[in-house]
Amino acid sequence: MTQADSLPTVQAPSVQELGQRARRAARVLRSLPTERKVQALRALADELRSREAGILAANVRDVQAAEAAGLPAHMVDRLRLDASALAAIARDVEAVAALPDPVGEQTGEKTLPSGIRVSQRRVPLGVLGVIYESRPNVTVDVAALALMSGNAAILRGGKETVHSNAALEEAIRAALEGEGLPGAAVQVIRDPDRARMLELLRLDDCVDAIIPRGGAGLHRFCVENATVPVIVGGIGVVHLYLDSSFTRTPQDVQTAADLIRNAKTQKPSACNALDTLLIDRAALPALPGVLRALLESGTELRADAEALEALSRAGLTASPAQPGDYGTEFLALTASIRTVSGLDEALDFIAEHGGHTDVILTRDEAQARRFVQDVDSAAVMVNASPRFNDGGQLGLGAEVAISTQKLHARGPMGLRELTTTKWVVQGDGQIRG
């Protein structure tokens, strides 16, 4: 029996019908008072908790099917839910409910010589189409952020999440309708056929923005096939440059070791996990102390000749790096090491391969300032793990995606990034001369 065979045999609405329903729901959400949105999100958190057994059972079916199909380990890891993870998702919903509502904010109010009064008001984007792979938590994150920002959403998860997403959609719908809101505010395309995704990408009469969350292939497919504007992100190589000033004391070496281990192993399948360590040549004597714990964690290291020699002298082993190991997003317990002659070479390397999250470990404030100014990435960090490039960690409550483009948003996309502005002009009968 296939996943599709085991689903209810009701006639699913077409993508066009989903879009029309979402557009109608978006009109309701657009002017919804903050307190109504907060109530709906609290109801959603309660539904997730009360439906825990059913949601986890659905997820087990997806995980078992994914493992049987031979999906990569990092995708199975992203797919898996347990009671702790579901409880954390419910808390994230409540965290979004506690955030300031950006909708309705007015800025730039002024009266012009003509007598008209003008301002800009923050408003929802409208209908979001979110396409993602393997992560059922995204279903709830998007639902919460869309609702709080006054947007409707059409979600298309991967075929590996079909049962999990169906169970989550039912919880979301129950919460919405229980609060007197349209259930169509958040809809899931349950048909795993790739043709449905193509239909969503071209639904420009109903959808205002497409946000893909997945690998480079998914982003490329969306950009090449969409007639709806696409906000791309979530892919890219994460670098950490270790300056020699951060290796002069045993305490700093230990701090670097702990931070780098966290950057790689806390969640290797995440887009903000470390891919490439750039090490100042003057810091090579400290490299074994920095990487010993990482090797003990089971991480495969692929190092250039100088780093290999430094590790070998300490009895540590790594594989020789190949050209393709640089500029690669590993999404697994694998990392590359590149020796550089200092900050200038590190900056040049990141300029060629970076764009997502880049970190410097340094005790030199001038080096830190220059790194922050020079590196053109979605997030630049000084003496902190790249794993902090996350909506929840940066105070957004949750995120729809991490945008690595410059229009319309960049970095983790929370409530404010799911809104736009419109001009409001008020007058007393003025006409233009």
What is the tens place of the pLDDT at every residue in 15-55?
999 999 999 999 999 999 999 999 999 999 999 999 999 99
Domain presence at residue 417: no
- Residue 336 to residues 176, 234, 343, 372: CA-CA distances in angstroms? 47, 20, 18, 23
Given this model, what pLDDT does residue 73 score?
85
More confident residue, 398 or 350: 350
- Given a cut of 60, whether residue 420 has pLDDT beyond it is yes
Selected residue with higher pLDDT from 365 and 401: 365
Please name the residues in contact with 395: beta carbons below 8 A apart, sequence gap of 6 or more: none
Question: How many other CB atoms are found less than 10 A from the CB of residue 228?
Answer: 20
**Same-domain status, 50 and 196:** yes
- What CATH number is associated with residue 141? 3.40.605.10
User: Is 201 part of any domain?
Assistant: yes
User: What pLDDT, on the 0 to 100 scale, is given for residue 235?
Assistant: 75
The total of structural domains in the chain comes to 2
Higher-confidence residue: 396 or 255? 255
Picking from 67-76, 237-246, 255-264, 423-432, which range would have the lowest pLDDT averaged per residue?
A: 67-76
Query: Do 34 and 116 have their domain in common?
Result: yes
**281 lies in the same domain as 205:** no
**Structural domain containing residue 305:** 239-388
Q: Are residues 277 and 227 in the same domain?
A: no
Which tens digits make up the pLDDT trace of 87-104?
999 999 999 999 999 999
Residue 399, pLDDT > 70, answer yes
Do 261 and 230 share a structural domain? Answer: no
Confidence grade of residue 398 (pLDDT, cut at 50, 70, 90): confident
How does pLDDT run across 219-276, given as a tens digit for each residue?
899 999 999 999 987 678 999 999 999 999 999 999 999 999 999 999 998 899 999 9
Question: Has residue 400 been placed in a domain?
Answer: no
Q: Is residue 345 part of a domain?
A: yes
User: How confident is the model at residue 8, as a pLDDT?
Assistant: 47
Q: Do 184 and 297 belong to one domain? A: no
pLDDT recorded at residue 234 = 66
Judging by DSSP bridges, how do beta strands 209-213 and 127-132 pair with one another?
parallel
Same-domain check for residues 280 and 383: yes
Residue 228 and residue 268 in one domain:
no
Per-residue confidence (pLDDT) for residue 379, from 0 to 100? 95
State pLDDT tens for residues 292-348: 999 999 999 999 999 999 999 999 999 999 999 999 999 899 999 999 999 999 999
Q: What is the pLDDT of residue 263?
A: 98
pLDDT tens-place string over residues 168-205: 999 999 999 999 999 999 999 999 899 999 999 999 99
- Asked whether residue 7 carries a pLDDT value surpassing 90, the answer given is no
Mean pLDDT of the chain: 94
Position 78 in a domain: yes
Taking only the tens place, the pLDDT of each residue in 129-155 is: 999 987 899 999 999 999 999 999 999
Asked if residue 389 lies in contact with residue 411, where contact means CB atoms within 8 angstroms, the answer is: yes
Q: What is the pLDDT of residues 369-388, one digit of tens each?
A: 999 999 999 999 999 999 99
Question: 49 and 76 share a domain?
Answer: yes
In this prediction, residue 217 has a pLDDT band, given cuts at 50, 70 and 90, of confident
- What pLDDT is attached to residue 10? 54
Residues 214 and 316 in one domain: no
- As a whole number of angstroms, the distance between CA 246 and CA 278 comes to 13
- Residues 230 and 244 reside in one and the same domain: no
Q: Encoding tokens for residue 23?
A: 């557009």
CB 91 within 8 A of CB 397: no
Q: Are residues 326 and 193 in the same domain?
A: no
* pTM of the entire predicted model: 0.85
pLDDT band at 163 (very low <50, low <70, confident <90, very high): very high
- Residue after which a domain boundary falls, among 183, 213, 234: 234
